[in-house]
Amino acid sequence: MDTTILVVNCGSSSLKLALYQRQGLKPLGTALAERLGSPEARLTVRGKHKRCHALRADDNHQSAIHSALDAFRQAGLLQGDPVAVGHRVVHGGEAFTRSAVIDQPVLKAIHQCTPLAPLHNPANLAGIEALTGLYPQLPQVAVFDTAFHQSLPPAAYLYALPYHLYQEQRVRRYGFHGTSHRYMLGRTAAHLGQSEQNTSLISAHLGNGCSITAIRNGESRDTSMGLTPLEGLVMGSRSGDIDPGLFDFFIQQGQTPAMVSQMLNKESGLLGLSGLSNDMRSLIEARDQGHEQAALAVDVFCYRLARYIGTMGVASGTPDALVFTGGIGENSAVVREQTLAHLSHLG
């Protein structure tokens, strides 16, 4: 019997699909549809070989998924239909503490979280609708970026704002990258040969987006991203923590909120500091060739990360491990070393 599971990560103009066997961690094949809704829309399918297919400008999520599944079949990666679909859904608000099989109440709850992730949740819903249109009977599961962090205590998730903003609009820290932090917990517990419930760690996900989480006895107890993924560590093009008074400052200088938001999300972080790139590997190469701003960007990145690692012990208790993942965390011994050099007092 075919046991292929389809995994879907749906963005507003892009779509990532992967096929997995029930037990396997390595995808059998992946598909990336980009620039949906434009004349340049295209689909790249990777299995044993890479194949590119043109899409039509009027292709939507549903027809792009259909084309991708056809391409998977042609490449021999999929026989028949998948047995289940897993969707990455960015924001589950306070409604979801774990993954959920999608039914009408779950769809409604995801929809109600849209004000918290206005760019992401509608795209995720479009992916779910597309699959429902193609396979009305297929079990579909929503896997939330936020769910793992629903165990944060109020002291960690509340901002010191008027309390009614939490009561009425659910303004609070949610945290993201939950699937990655939860995965790090599982792998760390397995490496240490102990149960997840007995495992405490500080996990740092360092990719283009970066976040750090304190996990105590198998539960997320604090995390650096907040209401949105802008808070916390220095990231590729996001500022991470800033003085919220900066907003006032720039508004008084004549900037609009949209301009400030664009600057904080797209023009800051490693890119903004270095004036060169949002890519850590390029910055380390540039630093080694004497580029001073690249060196500064790496310094600020590592110092902020170390500062967060230092404070996360408040929530994790004595951790069993400090774990790094994401493109930077996994691959850059230089960043890990420079960060840990700030933390020698912790042993």
Q: Which residues carry out catalysis?
A: 145
**Stretch binding ligand ADP (CB under 6 A), from 11-19, 69-77, 207-215, 237-245:** 207-215
Smallest distance, Å, CB 31 to ligand ADP?
17
Q: Does 34 bind ligand ADP (CB under 6 A)?
A: no
d(CA 263, CA 260): 5
Burial 288-316 (b: 16+ CB within 10 A, else e): eeebeebbebbebbbebbbebbeebeebb
Main-chain dihedrals φ then ψ at residue 201, nearest 5 degrees: -155, 165
E strand segments, 125-169: 140-144
Q: What are phi and psi of 88, to 5 degrees?
A: -75, 125
CB-CB contact of 291 with 261 (8 Å): no
Kindly report the backbone phi and psi dihedral angles of residue 283, in degrees, each rounded to the nearest multiple of 5, phi listed first: -70, -35
142 CB-side CA count, 13 A: 33
Q: How far is the CB of 78 from ligand ADP (least distance, A)?
A: 25
Cβ nearer to ligand ADP, comparing 292 with 330: 330
Interface mask toward ligand ADP for 218-237; x: CB under 6 A: ------------------x-
Q: How far is the CB of 11 from ligand ADP (least distance, A)?
A: 12
Burial of 84 (0-12, 13-18, 19+ CB in 10 A): middle
Q: Does residue number 279 form part of the binding site for ligand ADP (CB under 6 A)?
A: yes
> Which CB sits closer to ligand ADP, 140 or 278?
278
Residue entry with tokens 């951790």: 319
- The mark string for 80-109 relative to ligand ADP (x by CB under 6 A, - otherwise) is ------------------------------
- The binding track of 328-347 with respect to ligand ADP, each residue x by CB under 6 A or -, is x--xx---------------
The rounded distance, in Å, linking the Cα atoms of 313 and 330 is 22
Contact predicate 280/327, CB 8 Å? yes
**Binding residue count for ligand ADP, defined by CB under 6 A:** 13
Stretch that binds ligand ADP, among 42-50, 141-149, 238-246, 277-285 (CB under 6 A): 277-285
Q: Is 281 in the site for ligand ADP (CB under 6 A)?
A: yes
CB of 231 to ligand ADP, least distance (A): 16
44 touches ligand ADP (CB under 6 A): no
The binding site for ligand ADP (CB under 6 A) comprises 207-209, 236, 279-281, 284, 326-328, 331-332
